[in-house]
Amino acid sequence: MRDAPNINLAWTMLAAEECHRLGVRHAVVSPGSRSAPLAVAFGRHAGIRVHVAHDERGGAFMALGIAKSTGVPAVMVMTSGTAVANALPAVVEARMTRTPLMVFAADRPPELRDCGANQAIPQANLLAGATRWSADLPCPTTDVPAEFVLSTVDEAFARACGHAGAQAGAVHLNWQFREPLAPDARPWDIRWLSGIARWTNDHAPWRLAMPPLASPVEIDEAVVIAGRTASLTRHSLEGWRGTMLADITSDLADSGTAGADLVLRAAMEGDGNPALREALRAKALAIVGDAVVSKRLNAWIASQPSGVTVFGAGDPRIDAAHRAHAVYAGPVEFTAAKKLKPHAGWKRALACATRAAAKAIAAERGLCEPTAIADATSACGDARSHGTLFYGSSMPIRDADFLTICPPSGWHAGANRGASGIDGLIASASGHALGTREPVVAFVGDVSALHDLSSLMLAREVETPLVIVVLNNDGGGIFRYLPIAKHDDVFEALFTTPHGQRLAPVAKALGLVTEAPTTRAAMKKAVAKALKRGGPTVIEVSCAREASEACRARVAKAAVDALAREFRG
């Protein structure tokens, strides 16, 4: 730090080095003048990989994807003004999914605030409603001890990771800077560093915050309902000998745990199946991690008279039915009691539903949204032993969960389901690829892709295989399943919003490889080629909404019919 050209750089170089000592390995930098001291400090740090994002919104989602895939916060560096506002969607998602994220935003000094100075807005508390913590730092000066800089970065890291008494999420450090912003030489008193002598002569962080210890929890009869959860908790549930209803995002979904939505469709919709309904009754429910995708599963939880215990949540609250009688907000590690046995009804029903669904999807002849996801998933398992399937927040994740199209063995699931937004999906998928350095296959709808087109520039940074499957049904197909679909005068123009555009030519113009398969065989081949090629590939599947809806209906009917035969009453 002794070679810092000025006091601004002395502060930011301390911050960058402390981030590195804490474990940060990625920074996403958006260009700006006021943020130059931060950009230079991170850009010159040999141990931190810097990714450049022209758009702060996409950059923040890229940082979010890196953090979700690694469990370690990335630093998002941005300038003052509306740049900070653009980080809000990713910061919201970080809070809702307890994902560590560090936003370092530059700001004007006090004398340039609230006086009409250019690019100065009230930004110090702009993200406060969604962050876990924020701090408005003073302008760098030797009058403030160096220890303050280090301990503030340490506190931000601890708050982001959930090591400071609360749960993980985003933090915002607001850095006020006066000139010089560039790394121009200006004298500063090097004796300022004397208070941190032990840090200067060591390689450890100034201060470490220890994560909370996991609570051991024994399950003796409860049905476990698992969403996305902490790795320690997830590992304790792998090979669970009891009954688990696993959400597609949980990394625990397979032929023995997936299929709850199909089962409950047969049990609860219309006249339903009374014998099946009775067979599914549970003595107790253990809800683990984030909220699940299935609306039917959430309705079933609300209808059960049994006790409900929530694990690994707290803020945000995961109790939509307001049924929980106990909450474990910290990390937990599950063990199975000696007497724990699979729930007989659920075990039979899940096996029956997933078997029927798999057979029905295999029999489908046309390429549509569900079959494209199924074929891409199959190709992933054939081509690579590990990677991430990233699901868009609208129909893609629902198709994978509802139709039990689970990730292959060795592959993980990724999604932005905290706030269920469709923004930033391409950027987040790119972040997953950068964080893991492993293949990523992302399924996004056409409206989601249009929303995040600028992030195709971010995708170009990825060197490992990144396959972006755009399911183009010319608008928001999910709205066809909602009551608004009955109102013809406004439905098409204001809700499905057809655009008539192809996305592959845009991706090609930006230098990305593109494919446009029209058959199931061609879809598998395109994904396999992309996974061998490396770098980003956009695969656009053009399909009619009606074809996808008919496919979903056939698969659901096959499962419902199979369950009717299995549970005759």
Query: What is the per-residue pLDDT across 276-324, written as a single tens digit (0 to 9) for each?
Result: 999 999 999 999 999 999 999 999 999 998 889 999 888 888 998 888 9
For 385, the token pair is 């032993």
Residues 165, 255 within the same domain = no
Residues 441, 339 within the same domain = no
CA 383, 389, 395, 398 torsion-angle sign: positive
Q: Which residues span the domain enclosing 379? A: 369-543
Residues 442, 507 within the same domain = yes
E strands, 381-518, in order:
387-391, 411-415, 440-445, 466-472, 513-515
CA geometry: angle 177, 180, 184, nearest 5 deg: 135
- Examine residue 435 and state whether it is found in any structural domain, yes or no: yes
d(CA 375, CA 528): 10
Residues 162, 263 within the same domain = no
Q: Residue 393 has what pLDDT?
A: 92
Residues 252, 188 within the same domain = no
Q: Residue 166 has what pLDDT?
A: 84
Taking each helix axis as running N to C, give the angle between helix 545-566 and helix 369-383, from 0 to 180 degrees, rounded to the nearest 10.
80
Residues 374, 515 within the same domain = yes
Q: Pick from 523, 474, 524: which is nearest to 499 by CA?
A: 474
CATH number (domain holding residue 323): 3.40.50.1220
Q: Residue 339 has what pLDDT?
A: 93
Residues 506, 463 within the same domain = yes
Q: Confirm if 42 and 13 have CB atoms less than 8 A apart.
A: no
- Examine residue 382 and state whether it is found in any structural domain, yes or no: yes
Give the DSSP H or E segment for 135. Answer: strand 133-137
Q: Pick from 381, 397, 440, 373: which is nearest to 68 by CA?
A: 440
Q: Residue 306 has what pLDDT?
A: 87
Q: Pick from 165, 164, 303, 168: which is nearest to 228 by CA?
A: 168
Q: Residue 454 has what pLDDT?
A: 94
- Examine residue 423 and state whether it is found in any structural domain, yes or no: yes
Q: How far is CA 293 from the centre of its chain?
A: 14
E strands, 266-313, in order:
284-288, 307-311
- Examine residue 364 and state whether it is found in any structural domain, yes or no: no
Q: Residue 569 has what pLDDT?
A: 59
Residues 383, 337 within the same domain = no
Last residue of one domain, picked from the residues 167, 200, 233:
200
Q: Residue 211 has what pLDDT?
A: 87
- Name residues of the chain where pLDDT drops below 50: none
> DSSP 3-state assignment of 81?
coil
Per DSSP, what are the bridge partners of residue 333? 216
Residues 439, 339 within the same domain = no
The structure's pTM equals 0.95
Q: Residue 355 has what pLDDT?
A: 97
- Examine residue 549 and state whether it is found in any structural domain, yes or no: no
Per DSSP, what are the bridge partners of residue 472? 542
Q: Residue 315 has what pLDDT?
A: 87
Give me the number of domains the chain comprises. 3
Q: Confirm if 301 and 287 have CB atoms less than 8 A apart.
A: yes
- Examine residue 277 and state whether it is found in any structural domain, yes or no: yes
Residues 334, 476 within the same domain = no
- Examine residue 569 and state whether it is found in any structural domain, yes or no: no
Name the DSSP letter for residue 486: G
Q: How far is CA 141 from the centre of its chain?
A: 38
Last residue of one domain, picked from the residues 294, 321, 351:
351
- Examine residue 561 and state whether it is found in any structural domain, yes or no: no
d(CA 231, CA 252): 11
CATH number (domain holding residue 478): 3.40.50.970
Residues 377, 435 within the same domain = yes
Residues 264, 403 within the same domain = no
d(CA 46, CA 59): 21
Last residue of one domain, picked from the residues 175, 200, 225:
200
Q: Residue 321 has what pLDDT?
A: 87
